[in-house]
Structure 1
Amino acid sequence: MIERTVKYKKPSPKPEKNRDVRLPRLYKSLYDQIINNHYKNALKTVNKLQRLDTDNEELIKTRIFILLQLDQFSHASSLIQSSSQPFAYEHAYTNYRLKNEHLASQSISPDSDDRKWKILSAQLLYRQGDYKSAIDLYESLMSDLSPDTDEYTDLETNLKASKECLDFHRHGYLQAMDELNVPPLDVLENNPAPFPDNYKPPAIDTSSVTVSSATTETPSKLLKQKEKRRAAMHSKHANKNMQIDPERWLPMKERSYYRKPRQQMSINHKRR
């Protein structure tokens, strides 16, 4: 018997780090993750921080910000509703992204001078079809911006889209389409289009078409041919009244009525 001569000592479990040691490290890693746009890892770090620092209300705001960056608007909306803090802008923005324009417009105060509220108001006006008001608001927002900034480029794109929609509605394209005598869609689908005046159907050469003899035969003749084919499938000397063996697919030695030959039985008896 082989005995184990070397006894390995189990390593002692590492002591848990103190809360005062873990918190600064987690906050530092959270800052680096947000700066470098690693929002999925930042969300995991926020979960760890909320377990250690439960009374910090800034972590809830950070969590909502990360969820908005990850386009998880339904989770952000449920977190805002369950929170005791009034996240008014975040609540309006999540409703806007979830296409609840009515709830988003109720949250916006018209007298607010904050820039983010004005941008959100312009986006809501565009989505609600008030393109003229959206254009005026975008132009006022772009007046005090430098053309080199990213915000100016985004606002310019939204302004261009608003002007194109307003131009489409003002030049009477919808009115011209209503004045056309176009029948309803169900009439167009049910009635095929008419042939043109100069349409001539192609001529068919009937001389090359041959009619098979099978189609000209009478039904009684076809039935007789089927009966002949069935009779040819069976043996001439087969007894049609005999019951078919249900074990015919099994090998002979595996059937229930199989009996060994006497010679084989005597050989097996001698071996015993």
Structure 2
Amino acid sequence: MPPKSVPVKAGQTSSKKPSRQRRSQKQQPAPLTDRLKRLFTSLCAQVDGGHFANAIRTCNKILRLDPSDRDALRTKLFLLLQIEQYDNALALIAEINEQCSFERAYALYRLQREEDAAQVLKEIKNNGKEAEQRGAMHLEAQLSYRQGSYQSSLDIYNELLETADPASDEYADILTNLPASQSHQDFITTTFMQSMSQLPSSIASTLESAPPPVLSQPASILAFVEDPTKKPEAVETKKKLRTKRVPKGIIPGVSPPPDPERWLKKSERTSYTQGKKRRGAGGGATQGATVGAESGPVSASHGGKTGGKGKGGKKR
């Protein structure tokens, strides 16, 4: 029977909608502010947890929604420097409208571009803010240490140490880097000069102008470097017999070789000869038969029992 239709009263509308109509209605996307808020919440959790690669992906999602978001751009630049992608950081700095001089100098310093980094640091010292200038001083001290200007690095660290808070991490970092600069400077000014004064005058006069010594290398390496296309000659080496597999008392090349038919059956070997038959061997007796001097004939019909009077037998 077809289902009964439920009458609808006048002034009322049916609350049920067809399933096709409900499916056709698409869910409206959340507002832009709500999506950005959720993404920034995830970004903060990823940065706090140290998941920098995932945090960069979240920054990219934010920038797709709002390409001019300053917080997302600065966070992405910080993350790129943390994971040591300095080329990408320089490319991002070029896209950012605001000035990021210190980040640019640090990226150039890590890419071994000391001259470019020194030029940027000079601009920061002349026109930068006070916070940037202090960071630039730390970077300048490290750059001077790398270039061998230990006295300049030592002077900068001493200046920073006087104005640093003893309870801060900066103070501990300065105390770590300061002895390294001091030890190198002491070697140049004191230890090296004392060692030079102890040498004979004939050696000391020619030591500084002499070229650096050449490290001695093995002849095989030198030959390969001189002619890399030349293939090394193959050295013929005789394969030594493993003593583990040689039986005891056998001398290789002296003892006679083993019989090549040792793995065959004896009856299949060429040296096998059929032996003579045993004397007196006749046909086999039937099952149950016994052979003896005092035994009589066996009756097959009585199952091996002897006839006549015997133990347990009755006379017929």
Normalised-by-shorter TM-score class: 0.5 to 0.7
Residue 51 of structure 1 deviates from its aligned partner by 0.6
Q: Does 1:55 align with 2:68?
A: yes
Does the residue aligned with 1:138 lie in a helix, a strand or coil? helix
Q: Deviations over 1:62-115 (max 9, x none)?
A: 211110111111111122234333221111110011111100000113445431
Q: Does 1:104 align with 2:117?
A: yes
Q: 1:190 to 1:171 in 2, by over 3 A?
A: farther
Residue 190 of structure 1 deviates from its aligned partner by 9.3
Q: Deviations over 1:8-38 (max 9, x none)?
A: x999576533322211111122223223433
Q: Which residue of 2 aligns with 1:171?
A: 190
Give the alignment of 1:1-272 within 5 angstroms: 15-109=28-122, 110-111=125-126, 113=130, 114-173=133-192, 176=196, 179=204, 185=213
Q: 1:143 to 1:46 in 2, by over 3 A?
A: same
Q: Which residue of 2 aligns with 1:259?
A: none
Supply the AA of the counterpart residue of 2:61: K
Tell me which moved more, 97-106 or 61-70: 61-70
How many Å separate the matches in 2 of 1:125 and 1:186? 29
Supply the AA of the counterpart residue of 1:122: A
Higher relative contact order (CA 8 A, sep 6+): 1
TM-score normalised according to structure 2 size: 0.50
Q: Provide the identity percentage.
A: 34
How many Å separate the matches in 1 of 2:134 and 2:144? 15
Does the residue aligned with 1:51 lie in a helix, a strand or coil? helix
Tell me which moved more, 37-46 or 182-191: 182-191
How many Å separate the matches in 2 of 1:80 and 1:95? 12
Residue 184 of structure 1 deviates from its aligned partner by 7.0
- Number of residue pairs matched by the alignment: 183
Tell me which moved more, 103-112 or 66-75: 103-112
How many Å separate the matches in 2 of 1:185 and 1:145? 45
Q: Which residue of 2 aligns with 1:257?
A: none
How many Å separate the matches in 2 of 1:69 and 1:187? 39
How many Å separate the matches in 2 of 1:101 and 1:82? 23
Does the residue aligned with 1:108 lie in a helix, a strand or coil? helix
Q: 1:190 to 1:117 in 2, by over 3 A?
A: closer
Q: Deviations over 1:94-145 (max 9, x none)?
A: 0011111100000113445431111111111211221112112111212233
Q: Which runs of 5+ in 1 are unaligned?
A: 1-8, 192-272
How many Å separate the matches in 2 of 1:66 and 1:88? 17
Supply the AA of the counterpart residue of 2:32: R
Q: 1:46 to 1:169 in 2, by over 3 A?
A: same
Q: 1:44 to 1:173 in 2, by over 3 A?
A: same
Does the residue aligned with 2:163 lie in a helix, a strand or coil? coil
How many Å separate the matches in 1 of 2:84 and 2:52? 11
Q: Deviations over 1:26-63 (max 9, x none)?
A: 11222232234332221111011001112223322221
Q: Which residue of 1 aligns with 2:258?
A: none
Q: Which runs of 5+ in 2 are unaligned?
A: 1-18, 220-316
- Kindly report the root-mean-square deviation, in angstroms, between the aligned alpha carbons of the 2 structures: 3.3
Q: 1:50 to 1:190 in 2, by over 3 A?
A: closer
Q: 1:74 to 1:184 in 2, by over 3 A?
A: closer
Supply the AA of the counterpart residue of 1:143: E
Q: 1:17 to 1:169 in 2, by over 3 A?
A: same
